[in-house]
Structure 1
C-alpha cells in the first residue's frame, strides 16, 4: 500500500513544464525514463533469443479480426501483430514512449497532439508506415470499430497531415479531456493498402497484417494459432524493445477447459501456466515434474489495484432494477465459508474497485469533494456516506442473521415468501439465471445458488461456451454474469465505457450492469480532467464509492499476487513490472 501511494503521488510532484520532452508522454507530470534510456527496467537486454513457447488459451475462436465485436477473435493478435504510435511502459501508471512515432508533442492543455512517424517504421509486407495510414486507421475505427474505439476517436475534431510523416489531432473543445492524446497514442495502426479492401466489422479468418514483431503463419480454426517472430521487424533494436519479443515462435493452443489444459502442462505439452485455481495451486502440484524441480512455482507481487471480480446484476431487467433485492442477494453471499471450503482461505474479499491503493473509498469518510461530485446521484446520500462494506458471516454457509436481514429488506420492498419461494411485488416467483463460461465459476455460482435458496430465490446456473457467452454479453442478454473488471493505476476514459450512461445503451460496451447515474458519469469524466493529485484521487474515490454503494455487483475476491508455474527452461528478468509478469520479456534457456 505504501509503495502504491508513493508511486501514484509521485507522478504529480513534477511540474507540467517537463512535458516539453518529445520522446514520451505521461498522463500526469513527466515520464520516468529520460530520452537516452537504454531499455525498460523489467526487461533484460541479455535475454536469449529464439525457441518456441507453447501457451494455453481457454475456449475457442472463429475470427482473426480483433477490431470487430462479431465472432470470437483469437487472443493476443492486437498486441503481437499490430502496433501503436506510442508504447506503454508498465512500470508507470500511464506513460507512453515513442514507437511508430519517434516524436510526440502535446499542448499544455492537451487540446491537440502531434506525432512524427519514425523514418524506419514498416509494415510486415515492407511498405512504410505513413501519415495516411494513421489517418485511415483513425477514420476506420471511429466509423466502424468497436464501441470503445468509436467513442474515443469521435472526440477528435480535426486531423491534419502536413506531410507524409506528421499527424496532428485536434480535440473537441468541450469537455476537456487530458487523456485523449494518450488514447490516440495507443490507437492500432493498420495499413491502408490492405484494410481499405477488407470489412473491418466481419468475423474473418483472413491473416492480419501489421507492423508488430510477430505475424500469424498458421491457423487451425478454434484450436491453434502460430505466431512467428519477423526476421525483418523494423523496431527490434529500439530501446524499449531490447530484451522483449524473445521467442521465435509462440504457439497458442485452445482447450475447452482449464483441467484439460493443465494436464497438457503437466505432460510437457505447454511451457507456462498462469494459475487461477487456488486449490490446484496449493495441492495440485504434487506430480513428479513439480516435486523434482523441473516445474517452478512463483508468486509474483502485483502493484496494481484489486479490480472488481464480481457477479454482475443486469439492472435492465425489471426485477434487478430493485436495489433491495440486489442488496439482499449480496447479504446471502457467504464469502468466509466459500473462501475456506472452496479456496483454502487464500483470497481476500473485494470491497473496492481500486482496492489496495489510495484511490479506494473503502473505509474512508466521504470528502466534500466527493460529495459535490456525487450530489446528483440516484443513490441515497446516507448510503454514499456509509460506503460499501462487504457482509461478514459466521462462516457456516447458513448464516441465519444475514438471512433474516435480507428477508427484512425484501419484505419492506414488497416481496413475500410463499412456501419456499420468494414472490415479487407483482406476484411473480423470483427466478434468475447466471451465465458462466468456466467450470470454476460454475462451482462458485452453484454454492451461491444454495445460499440464495434460503431467501426463496431460484437461481439457475448455466454453463455456456465462450462464443455464446460473448454474444450474450454484447447484447446484454442475461440476468447475471460472472465478470472480472480490470483496474489500472491510472483510470481514465475506459471508466466511461465501463460505467457511463451512454454505454449502458451501447451493445458491445462493458457496462454490463446497465448503470445510468449522472453522478457516476461526472466522477468518471472528472478523472480525465484532473490536473492535481487531490482532484484525481477525489474523482477516483467518488467513482468507487458510487459503484460499490449502488449494489450493482456481488463483489467476490482478489489475489494480491500472480501465480505462475513454468518449466525450468523458461526464464525471466530479475524484476517484474508493477503490473506483474510481462511474458514478452521472458525467454527460453534449454541449457538450464
Structure 2
C-alpha cells in the first residue's frame, strides 16, 4: 500500500507521497528524500476546495472576476490561480474529473518507509535536525492546493478565495472561518504570519532561498492575510508558492520550540494525525474524525483510507521479502533485475499480487552521478567529461538492467523543455545576450549528449578520448599507472553511497576509470554518515535524482543557483555558482507563457549540459508497480500522478484473499 493523498509537483519533490525509490538503478534519489530539503513538508499544496454546503454562498465571492482599483489597475478575484492560462475547474466544481466520487472510506494503506537513513527519529521535517519520518505532509493543509490533472493550477483549500493584481506583486488570501487545527483551534491569519516567520528564522536553509522574494506578510484581519513581494522580482509563481506553505499553529509553538527535533506528535492543520510512531520501525497516520474539510470537493474520491502506515526495513532485500508475504501491500519497483526476474513468487502465481507499468507523463528527473565542484580536482570541465566518458550505459543497460532503460542526457528529460539540435528561434534569443560568456559551441553545435558506447564493458574509443582529455587537463599517467598533477597528487575519485545494491553499477564504472589511471573507488558508508556528509558536502561524487516540475520555477535556485552553493542542507549538491546560470534561472521563473518557459528552460538545459556537472544516468518513463489485489481504483488515473492516492480499500477482495490464506 502507499501513503496519503497525492500532491502536485513541488520543488524537487515527487508528485506522489509514497517512497520515491531505493538505491540501485533509480540512482539514489537523495535529491527528493529530504525534500529539497524540507520543501515537501513546507510546501504542502494539499487537496481540498469549496465544500458543497458552502459552495452556493461562496460562489459570488470566489468566482473569477475583475475590478478596477482606484489607481486604474486590475485586481483579479478568483477561486484559484494558474501559472499560464485559465483554470480547468470552475468555482462550483463537485470533484476532480478522474476520481470515483462514491469511493468508500476505510481500511489501512501500508507501504514501505524510506529515508536518508532508512529510519527516522523526528516528527519535525521543517528543520535540519534529526531524520524526519515519511508521510509528515499528511499532517498539514495549505492555503492553496493543486490538481494532478492540471499541473499549472492551484485552488483554494484553507483559503476560499484569493485576490491579486495583474502583475502578481502581492496576493491576499481570504481564509475559511471554519478551518481548524487538529486540536480544534481556529486557523487564522496570524498562524500564516507565524509560519513564514518560523520557517525563515529556524527552518532549513532552503526556506531562506525559496522565500527570499517575500517583502512582508501581514494579517489584515483574523481571516485575511496578505503577502507582498519585493519590487521587481519575477512574481509569476509566487502567489501559488506561498499558497502552498504548510500552515503551522502559532499557539502550539508558543509552548514548543519549533527549532528542535521531537518525537512528540505535533498539532497539524491537515486531515490526518500521528496515531503511533516507533522510531526506526513504523509510523501510522489516521484520519482526524473532526477534520473540518472532509467534504470539500477536492477530497471527494481521495484520501479514502482511514489510516496510512509506513513500515521501515533495514535493507531492500528484507523489504521485498516482506512485500511478497503481504506485510505491506503496495510496492513501486526500482530494480530492473527484480522486475525482470523476481516476480515469480507464490502470491504472483496465485494471482493475489498484480503488477503493472503505468506511463509517467512528467519530466523523468535529473538522475546521475553528481560531481562536487567544491573540490579543486573537479574544477576543470575536461576532467569531469573524461570521468563521464568511462561510464558505459549501453553495457550497463544490457548486462544489468535487462534493457529496460534509456539514457538520460537532459536535466528536463522526457519533456518539451529538453534542448535539442542547434539553438535557434526563441531559445537562441535567450542565449544571445550571454554569447561572450559562453563556449562558442553552445551556438554552433547540438547540446552535449554522452556518446553511445560499445557492447563491451570498456569502450576503446571512449578510453582514448578520456585519456586525451586528462592529459590536456594536466593529469598525465605516472610511473605507477596513476594520474598525477604537477604537485604529484593523484587524481582520486570516491563514489559514496549508503546502499549495497548500487555496487553492481558503480564497481564496473570504477574498474573502467582505473584503466585510464584514475584512482577510483566505491565507499559504502552507513546511513547516518551519508546524511551528515550530504549536509556538509563531504563527497567527491554521489548518485542522486531530482524530480523536476512540469513548470520549473523557484526551486531551480536551490538546485543550481549560486546562493545555494555553500549553504548547508540545500540541494545544490555540485556547488555550482555561475552568473549565467543564475540569470537563466531567473528568466525561467519570469516566463509569462508556456512557450517562453520551454524556450528558457531549453537554454538553461543547454548551458548546464555544457558544464559537465554530472554523469547522466537512465530513465524509463514508466511507474513499475506491484500490489496485492485488495483495492478498488478509478477507471483512469490522473495524467501527472501515479494515481494510487485515489484508490480505496475493497473489503470484499480483502476478505477473499484472507479466506484463501493469502493475508493475515
**Length-normalised TM-score, structure 1:** 0.94
Q: Tell me what 2:596 maps to.
A: 535
SS at match of 1:417: coil
Q: Contact 1:301–1:580 (CA<8 Å) still a contact in 2?
A: no
Q: Whole-Å Cα distance in 2 between the matches of residues 578 and 441 of structure 1? A: 31
* Residue 496 of structure 2 is aligned to residue 435 of structure 1: yes
Q: Which runs of 5+ in 1 are unaligned?
A: 1-14
Q: Call closer, same or farther: CA 1:53–1:155 in 2, change over 3 Å.
A: same
The Cα of 1:332 is off from its aligned counterpart by 0.7
The Cα of 1:194 is off from its aligned counterpart by 0.6
Q: Whole-Å Cα distance in 1 between the matches of residues 439 and 87 of structure 2? A: 41
SS at match of 1:141: helix
Which one of the candidate residues 87, 93, 111 is aligned to 1:31?
A: 87
The Cα of 1:425 is off from its aligned counterpart by 3.6
Q: Call closer, same or farther: CA 1:196–1:381 in 2, change over 3 Å.
A: farther
Q: Tell me what 1:473 maps to.
A: 534
Q: Tell me what 1:137 maps to.
A: 195
SS at match of 1:449: helix
Q: Whole-Å Cα distance in 1 between the matches of residues 207 and 247 of structure 2? A: 13
* Residue 426 of structure 2 is aligned to residue 370 of structure 1: no
Question: How do residues 101-116 of structure 1 correspond to structure 2 at under 5 angstroms?
Answer: 101-116=159-174
Q: Contact 2:101–2:300 (CA<8 Å) still a contact in 1?
A: yes
Q: Whole-Å Cα distance in 2 between the matches of residues 352 and 19 of structure 1? A: 39
Q: Whole-Å Cα distance in 1 between the matches of residues 444 and 312 of structure 2? A: 47
Q: Contact 1:112–1:171 (CA<8 Å) still a contact in 2?
A: yes
Q: Tell me what 2:634 maps to.
A: 573
SS at match of 2:483: strand
* Residue 335 of structure 2 is aligned to residue 277 of structure 1: yes
The Cα of 1:384 is off from its aligned counterpart by 5.9
Q: Whole-Å Cα distance in 1 between the matches of residues 77 and 543 of structure 2? A: 43
Q: Whole-Å Cα distance in 2 between the matches of residues 440 and 374 of structure 1? A: 43
My pick for the range that moved more, 581-590 or 67-76, is: 581-590
SS at match of 2:355: strand
My pick for the range that moved more, 92-101 or 326-335, is: 92-101
Q: Contact 1:384–1:545 (CA<8 Å) still a contact in 2?
A: no
Which one of the candidate residues 365, 373, 378 is aligned to 1:320?
A: 378
My pick for the range that moved more, 43-52 or 112-121, is: 43-52
Q: Tell me what 2:518 maps to.
A: 457
The Cα of 1:196 is off from its aligned counterpart by 2.6
* Residue 459 of structure 2 is aligned to residue 399 of structure 1: yes
Residues 207-236 of structure 1: per-residue CA shift (max 9 Å, x gap): 122111110011111111011111111111
Q: Contact 1:375–1:519 (CA<8 Å) still a contact in 2?
A: no
Which one of the candidate residues 198, 205, 228 is aligned to 1:147?
A: 205
Q: Tell me what 1:485 maps to.
A: 546
The Cα of 1:565 is off from its aligned counterpart by 0.5
SS at match of 2:113: strand
Q: Whole-Å Cα distance in 2 between the matches of residues 548 and 279 of structure 1? A: 30
* Residue 586 of structure 2 is aligned to residue 525 of structure 1: yes
Q: Tell me what 1:66 maps to.
A: 125
Q: Whole-Å Cα distance in 2 between the matches of residues 480 and 582 of structure 1? A: 34
Which one of the candidate residues 172, 176, 192 is aligned to 2:250?
A: 192
Q: Whole-Å Cα distance in 1 between the matches of residues 366 and 75 of structure 2? A: 33
My pick for the range that moved more, 150-159 or 258-267, is: 150-159
Q: Contact 1:384–1:546 (CA<8 Å) still a contact in 2?
A: no
The Cα of 1:177 is off from its aligned counterpart by 2.5
SS at match of 2:502: helix
Q: Contact 2:113–2:282 (CA<8 Å) still a contact in 1?
A: no
Q: Tell me what 1:120 maps to.
A: 178
Which one of the candidate residues 305, 312, 319 is aligned to 1:261?
A: 319
Q: Whole-Å Cα distance in 1 between the matches of residues 439 and 334 of structure 2? A: 37
> What's the RMSD between the two structures over aligned residues?
1.8
Q: Contact 2:495–2:521 (CA<8 Å) still a contact in 1?
A: yes
Q: Whole-Å Cα distance in 2 between the matches of residues 55 and 274 of structure 1? A: 10
Give the count of matched residue pairs.
576
Q: Contact 1:135–1:159 (CA<8 Å) still a contact in 2?
A: yes
Q: Contact 2:272–2:288 (CA<8 Å) still a contact in 1?
A: yes
Which one of the candidate residues 164, 167, 176 is aligned to 2:222?
A: 164
The Cα of 1:327 is off from its aligned counterpart by 0.3
Residues 359-412 of structure 1: per-residue CA shift (max 9 Å, x gap): 1103353542232354364x5232564311122111211111110010011111
Residues 126-167 of structure 1: per-residue CA shift (max 9 Å, x gap): 011001111111111122212222223232212222210000
SS at match of 1:93: strand
Q: Call closer, same or farther: CA 1:146–1:529 in 2, change over 3 Å.
A: same
The Cα of 1:21 is off from its aligned counterpart by 5.2
Q: Contact 2:442–2:606 (CA<8 Å) still a contact in 1?
A: no
The Cα of 1:42 is off from its aligned counterpart by 3.3
Q: Whole-Å Cα distance in 2 between the matches of residues 200 and 150 of structure 1? A: 16
Residues 330-363 of structure 1: per-residue CA shift (max 9 Å, x gap): 1111000000111000001001111222111033
The Cα of 1:480 is off from its aligned counterpart by 0.9
Q: Whole-Å Cα distance in 2 between the matches of residues 204 and 462 of structure 1? A: 31
Q: Call closer, same or farther: CA 1:390–1:555 in 2, change over 3 Å.
A: same
Question: How do residues 197-208 of structure 1 correspond to structure 2 at under 5 angstroms?
Answer: 197-208=255-266
Q: Whole-Å Cα distance in 2 between the matches of residues 110 and 211 of structure 1? A: 27
Q: Contact 2:65–2:78 (CA<8 Å) still a contact in 1?
A: no
Q: Whole-Å Cα distance in 1 between the matches of residues 477 and 533 of structure 2? A: 31
Q: Whole-Å Cα distance in 1 between the matches of residues 583 and 576 of structure 2? A: 13
Q: Whole-Å Cα distance in 1 between the matches of residues 375 and 213 of structure 2? A: 31
**Length-normalised TM-score, structure 2:** 0.84
Q: Whole-Å Cα distance in 2 between the matches of residues 174 and 86 of structure 1? A: 24
Q: Contact 2:422–2:443 (CA<8 Å) still a contact in 1?
A: no
Q: Contact 2:234–2:586 (CA<8 Å) still a contact in 1?
A: no
Q: Call closer, same or farther: CA 1:525–1:125 in 2, change over 3 Å.
A: same
Q: Call closer, same or farther: CA 1:144–1:518 in 2, change over 3 Å.
A: same
Residues 304-326 of structure 1: per-residue CA shift (max 9 Å, x gap): 11211110000000001121110
SS at match of 2:100: coil
Which one of the candidate residues 486, 492, 504 is aligned to 2:565?
A: 504
Residues 18-66 of structure 1: per-residue CA shift (max 9 Å, x gap): 9945111111112221112121233221222111111102311111111
Q: Contact 2:140–2:247 (CA<8 Å) still a contact in 1?
A: yes
Q: Contact 1:63–1:72 (CA<8 Å) still a contact in 2?
A: yes
Q: Which runs of 5+ in 2 are unaligned?
A: 1-63, 67-73, 654-664
Q: Whole-Å Cα distance in 1 between the matches of residues 323 and 433 of structure 2? A: 49
The Cα of 1:93 is off from its aligned counterpart by 2.3
